[in-house]
Structure 1
Amino acid sequence: MGITIQKVIIHELIKEQHKPFEAVDKKTVVLPTDNAVVLKLVQGVADLYGRRNNSAHYGTFMTGIAAGKFPPSFYNYFDLVAPKDNDFIAVSHSAMDELERSARNIAAASGGYILAADYESEQGRFFLIAMLKKKAGIKLSDQLVPETVQELDLNSLHQAARINFDRFGQYKTANDEEKSEINYLSFVSPSTNKSTAGYFIKALGCAKGTASAKATSLVLTESVDFFRGNPELKPARLKFKEDLTAYLSDCANSRKSATLSRVEAIARKYFPQDDHQKAEELAEQLYARLNGEKNAIPNEFPVSKTVLNKHISIKHKTEKWDISFEVSALGVTSNADIQYDQKEARLVIRRLPAEMREKIEQALCDRNQES
């Protein structure tokens, strides 16, 4: 399914890296939304989100003075039932003003074409701001003479921010606890140059979110489902889950953030070792599934120990007994430490430690003496 563009415009921020700021070219007319080239451009930029070389951070806007003027401008735009072209142009100009202000103060900052779009896809409605760069290309003239041309680079996002309208609406009406698990904003920036990336993201008032519980739960369920849904990987899903939970447990215990790049590395151990292309395709598919807009797992997130424990252990307590064990100990055959008999609806615990056996036998002996 393609996208439907509501509004779109392109401005230009003119500045070369490590050189003084030159100018900003803010346009005052929106582009035609039914133009095939415009559609291809916005679709191409949107499709780059959540891929390994364009992994997305997820979060919310900053609050207070540090947020700048763009977030309030977007709040006003969001509240409009049927925004007009002038409303859209105004919010895009607000973004350009903030980008100009930031770029003037950072020598490492570089300019580019700034695409702003209000569009809808199968995943909902979005407001997108992306910086596009020019790249050199070659074409042949009518006389077959090579000529240099300038074209937009759509192979990677240099910097971008995207707001999910549905999640933004949920956030506005949520309580404080619920807000901590809602990320309505995603942003992409090159990790190779943090000073350059920082000015774009900071100018738009973006801040990384926490959403620890949701990210922890989704990275487990979605990655294991990815293995389960692939015939080649399905046999390895349980071993993969063990490795993944061990990694997440280590992150939780050491209070280090988990990363999707590490999740990918763990998964690669079970990808075809003799087919590099297939392994790359699987890695791209897994990353897109986890980091894409549907699941919105940040490329780096703190691990929720509470949620992790729910995924790796089973607990239950009654008035007379309670039990807790790791899922990895559970099975349906006699080889399992804890065997589940579905027909009889019972658990069989095997290989009891000597100390536990002694306590059980002593308790039974005491009861027999009482009777």
Structure 2
Amino acid sequence: MGITIQKVIIHELVKEQHKPFEKAVIKSNVLPADNAVVLQLLEGVTGLYGRRNNSAHYGTFLDGAKAGYFPPAFKSYFEQPKPSDESFITLSHTAMDELERAALGAPAASGGYILAADYESDQGRFFLIAMLKKKAGIKLSEQLVPETVQELDLNSLHQAARINFERFSQYVTAKQEEKSEINYLSFVSPSTNKSTAGYFIKALGCSKGTASAKATDLVITESSAFFKAKPELAKQRIKFKQDLTSYLAECAQTGQSATLSKVETLARKYFPEDDHQKADEWAEELYARLNGEKNAVPNEFPVSSTVLKKHTFIKYKADKWDINFEVNALGITPDAEIQYDKQGAKLTIRHLPAEMREKIEEALRDLKVES
């Protein structure tokens, strides 16, 4: 479907690093939504989201007064069935007011062009705020004389925040216990918690989420699906999944957050060693699959031990027995610790510990059954 622009506007925050804040250039007219260059600009910005060099944090707005004025302003905009241009412009002005206020208290921060857009893509409807920087370029004059020009840098996102309308709606109507697993906004920043860049995220009231269960489930299922979809990697899927779940288990045990950069490192062990270009392409593809808007796995997240056990253990309770074992112990060959026979619909458990054998044999004697 591509991108359909509803409304878009560009402002400018004028500030040089380590110098006092100068001014904000605030515009009061939306740009033409059908302008090809405007569309190209927005497609360029959104295309960078969720890539390795522009990985996204996922979360929600802060609560209460510490969130500032932007979150309630967005909620008011969201509640309008068909927001007017004036409503959109007002929301973008609120964002600029907050950014200006935050920049005053961040001497090391620098300004840039602020793009605000309400748009739709094949992934839904979004509200985006992104900071774009200038970069020097060279063009040739009519006399073929090189001249310097200033153009927007679309190779990387300096800072950005994006709100998913559908997930925001889910969050608003969700029960309190369900809200922790819903992340409706994402934000990109090279130094999210540092004053040089963090002022942008702070100004908009963004907060990292704690969707531990969903992130843990998706990083396992989607990484495994990625391996399965590649003929060259399919046979390595089980080994990779074992590496991944071992890493996640270690994170859960130590209380450390799992990171997508580590997941990429584990995956690269199985990528072609003699084809660095393909390895880089696959790493980019895997990262975008996990960190992109569809799956929205944060670039770091706490591991859910409960969800991890569902992926690493098979557990079942019948009327007269129950069983619980690690998936890694399962196999279909005679050398497997727990062998599954599909045709006979039975499990064979090998290498029973002596203590367990004694208990079984004692129970059989009590039942007067010969062993």
- What's the counterpart of residue 146 of structure 2? 146
Cα distance in 1 for residues equivalent to 2:121 and 2:190: 25
1:318 aligns with 2:282: no
SS at match of 1:91: helix
Q: Is the 8 A contact 2:192 2:201 kept in 1?
A: no
Cα deviation for residue 369 of structure 1 reads 7.2
One-letter code of the match for 2:353? P
- Residue in structure 2 matched with residue 135 of structure 1 by the alignment: 135
- Counterpart CA distance in 2 for 1:60 and 1:316 is 37
Q: Deviations over 1:184-234 (max 9, x none)?
A: 000000138822121000000000000000000000000011000100111
The 2-side partners of 1:287 and 1:184 are apart by: 19
Q: Which moved more, 1:55-64 or 1:183-192?
A: 183-192
| Partners of 2:15 and 2:22 within 8 A in 1 | yes
The equivalent residue for 2:361 is 361
Provide the identity percentage: 74
Deviation, 1:70, is 0.5
Q: What's 2:64 paired with?
A: 64
Distance 1:82 1:248 in 2: 44
**SS of corresponding position for 1:40:** helix
1:307 and 1:127 map into 2 onto residues whose CA distance is 31
Q: Which residue of 2 aligns with 1:338?
A: 338
Distance 1:77 1:56 in 2: 24
The whole-number CA distance in structure 1 between the counterparts of 2:351 and 2:274 is 40
Task: Give the Cα separation in 1 of the matches to 2:192 and 2:120.
Answer: 31
Q: Does residue 99 of structure 1 match 2:131?
A: no
Distance 2:97 2:63 in 1: 18
**Match of 2:60, SS?**
strand
Query: How far apart are residue 61 of structure 1 and its match?
Result: 0.4
Residue 255 of structure 2 corresponds to 255
1: distance between equivalents of 2:313 and 2:365? 32
In structure 2, what residue type is equivalent to 1:14? V
Q: Give the aligned partner of residue 164 of structure 2.
A: 164
Q: Deviations over 1:144-189 (max 9, x none)?
A: 1110000000000000000000000000000111101000000000
Cα offsets for 1:293-325 (capped at 9, x unmatched): 000000000000000001100111223211100
Amino acid across the alignment from 1:289: R
Distance 1:130 1:140 in 2: 30
Any residues of structure 2 matched to 1:23-102 within 5 Å, and which? 23-102=23-102
**Equivalent residue for 1:283?**
283
Residue 308 of structure 2 corresponds to: 308
1:299 aligns with 2:303: no
Instruction: Work out the number of aligned pairs and report it.
Output: 370
CA–CA distance in structure 2, aligned partners of residues 153 and 234 of structure 1: 38
Task: State the match for 2:224 in structure 1.
Answer: 224
| Per-residue CA distance 1:346-366 (angstroms, 9 max, x = gap) | 111112222222222222223
Map residues 10-29 of structure 1 onto 2, 5 A cutoff: 10-29=10-29
Q: 1:32 and 1:332, CA in 2 relative to 1: closer, same or farther beyond 3 A? A: same
Q: Answer whether contact 2:192 2:198 (CA < 8 A) is retained.
A: no
1: CA distance, partners of 2:314 / 2:341: 16
Structure 2 counterpart of 1:176, which letter? Q
Q: TM-score, normalised to structure 1's length? A: 0.98
For the aligned residue pairs, the C-alpha RMSD in angstroms reads 1.2
Q: Provide the rounded CA distance (Å) in 2 between the counterparts of 1:105 and 1:331.
A: 60
The amino acid that maps onto 1:175 is: K
**Which stretches in structure 2 are left out of the alignment for 5+ residues?**
none
**C-alpha distance in 2, partners of 1:340/1:364?**
25
| Counterpart position of 2:327 | 327
